[in-house]
Homo-oligomer: A and B are copies of this chain.
Amino acid sequence: MILEKISGPSDVSELNLGELELLAEEVREALIYRLSESGGHVGSNLGVVELTVALHYVFDSPKDKLIWDVSHQCYAHKMLTGRRQAYTDKAHFGDVTGFTNIEESEHDHFTVGHTATSISLALGMAKARDISGKKENIIAIIGDGAMSGGEAYEALNYAGEYDKNLIIILNDNNQSIGENHGGLYAKLTELRNTAGQSLDNVFRGLNLDYMYLDEGHNVEKLVDTLKKVKDIDHPVVLHVHTTKGKGLPYSEANKEDWHSSGPFNVKDGSSKNGIPNYDMTIHDSIIDLYNRDSTAVVISAATPRAMGFVGDERADYIEKGRFVDVGIAEENAMAMASGMAKYGITAVFGAYGTFLQRTYDQLIHDLCLNNSPATILVLMPGAYGMKSNTHFSMCDIQMFSHVPNLVYLSPAYKEEYQASFKYATMQKEHPVAIRVPNRFYECGYKDNTDYSLINKAKIMREGSGAAIIAVGALIPKALEMADECVEKLGIDITVINPVFLSGIDVELLEKLKENHDLVITMEDGILDGGYGTAIAGYYGDSAMKVITLGITKEFHSNFNTEELLNACGISTEKVLEIIKGNLKL
């Protein structure tokens, strides 16, 4: 075993070629072991094993700086930089996160999880190096999928006028999460097919030096090529052809399914947890839209699976022009949605809340300023959504609730989601964003809300004394709390679903004054600037007491939602205490 002797990159640099090749084999074996046990990003990590070994052989990390784009391909890098055990010993699985992490190692320069950022970050480091009079290599490793993102282009363009050392390794496995989209990819394919000789070369078109290596799993060739670019005195794009999922036949064959995975049996790739049960609520709401509106179009920015569109069905709707995947390009997606809506058709753009942060300006300027009646689906926001600090999505209310013209809806139940989606896609009055619940609880009755009554909240349970106003996902919890109030405090409180997060129901808030002394707001996003403060602002000059509960302003990571909510005071115990204390029961 060579891997067990590697405690850092300096150990890698002492190996000979045969040993490097063996090390790569062992790294892949360890990867497969850990991935099959605990799941993770399969394809991207298997695709860069040899590249990572060669990088740590040729360059001198952390003096030379390796900056991994997205960083979901960093497992081999972690293995070679002192974190080997986290991949070979189950007891140490918890020692590392799935992304580069500045708190783990001096070899990780940034904590990242979003695509298309590495070249910019590298450029910043390169300029800082120059002004500091230093000389080390700055290396960005970026996948082909990330190359559809505007930030990557902005950085490539600036790199095209930069004149010092900067090495951009384009790790091209011809696959994004799903298939790639964009003219770039036809031309990258031409470059691969011509060993880099094709004249239509976007990098040269941006004034960048360019080199090509076809054998991206050949350690010897990788080492030779990396030695050629080491200490180069100007920016260069090194285009390396790799295979996503390399080493596991089923992941090589089905790249999208194996982008990431839960625990699996190595022999055949079958899941250890059984077949995951995908909720088709979003998908079905879109099919319903397609059926009732012959020109409706749905847009995704490289995450079509998040809306349940896969395989032949997706290909079919793309072919018909009814499903558009623009690649990792949220800015373009948002503005296209505005263009479609302005033309007069029904347009829906669905994306994870964390990635919608990339298109805040297009939301404001392209969509809302033009009052284009498109529908934006905000997926997995808040504490019930993504659990990694690299995929922060706790400020969606701050982002979506305060833009003029925009209506932000927060359905609590499956039935409410369905009705609000139908409303959003049938009206032509304004842009509508929907905070899509991460889990679709069913309330069991039809949602008859008239969503055209803007800002009208819904009384879920009518009582007195205290009222809880809870943002969407927290409604079931609020109703449980109300039950407990009857049982433990002997009072019947009110529970309100605000439905609209982009405004308040003044009439209802006024009416509450008649027989309530306390309003508690609860939200699963960051408290500061969130929904609850709007309620507090409204009641500021009245006798109504308002307690706002929400998530503390931190980059929470790898959290358990219930534990986080509890820690932020969103628990039955704490809320009953608040009610008891304030109502002097």
Contacts and interface: CB of A to CB of B under 8 A. Distances in A.
Interface residues of A, number: 121
Contacts of A390: 365, 369
Nearest to A401: B529
A312 interface: no
Nearest to A533: B533
B125 A342 contact: yes
A155 interface: yes
A159 B340 CA distance: 15
Contacts of A154: 148-150, 153, 326-327, 329, 331-332
A577 to B, nearest CB: 13
A161 interface: yes
A564 interface: no
Given A206-B183, A332-B158, A110 B366 contact: yes
- Chain A facing B: main interface SS: helix
A533 B270 CA distance: 52
A135 B252 CA distance: 42
Interface string A325-362: 01101011011111111111101000000010110111
Contacts of A183: 156-161, 206-208
Residue among A130, A154, A361 with the most chain B CB within 10 A?
A: A154
Contact of A536 (B109, B121, B124, B540): B540
A174 interface: no
B339 A125 contact: yes
B533 A529 contact: yes
A148 B157 contact: yes
A160 to B, nearest CB: 1
Q: Count identical subunits in the complex.
A: 2
Contact of A342 (B124, B148, B326, B331): B124
A344 B123 contact: no
A165 interface: no
Contact of A161 (B186, B208, B337, B364): B186
A199 B398 CA distance: 47
A132 B182 contact: no
Given A200-B204, A338-B121, A361 B358 contact: yes
Contacts of A185: 161
A132 B343 contact: yes
A227 interface: no
Contacts of A361: 114, 355, 357-358, 360
Nearest to A320: B131
A287 B202 CA distance: 38
Given A131-B295, A199-B199, A405-B555, A120 B339 contact: yes
Interface of A: 102, 109-114, 117, 120-132, 148-161, 181-187, 199-208, 295, 297, 321-322, 324, 326-327, 329, 331-332, 334-345, 347, 355, 357-358, 360-362, 364-366, 368-370, 389-390, 392, 395, 397-399, 401-405, 503, 526-530, 532-534, 536-537, 539-541, 545-548, 553-555, 582
Given A110-B342, A402-B553, 10 more contacts: A125-B343, A129-B343, A150-B151, A158-B326, A186-B207, A201-B205, A202-B205, A399-B399, A404-B555, A536-B537
Top 4 nearest A-B pairs by Cβ distance? A160-B183, A150-B150, A124-B339, A183-B207
20 contacts: A114-B361, A114-B365, A120-B332, A123-B336, A124-B343, A124-B347, A125-B340, A127-B339, A132-B344, A154-B326, A357-B360, A360-B360, A364-B392, A364-B395, A365-B392, A404-B526, A528-B534, A529-B533, A533-B536, A541-B546
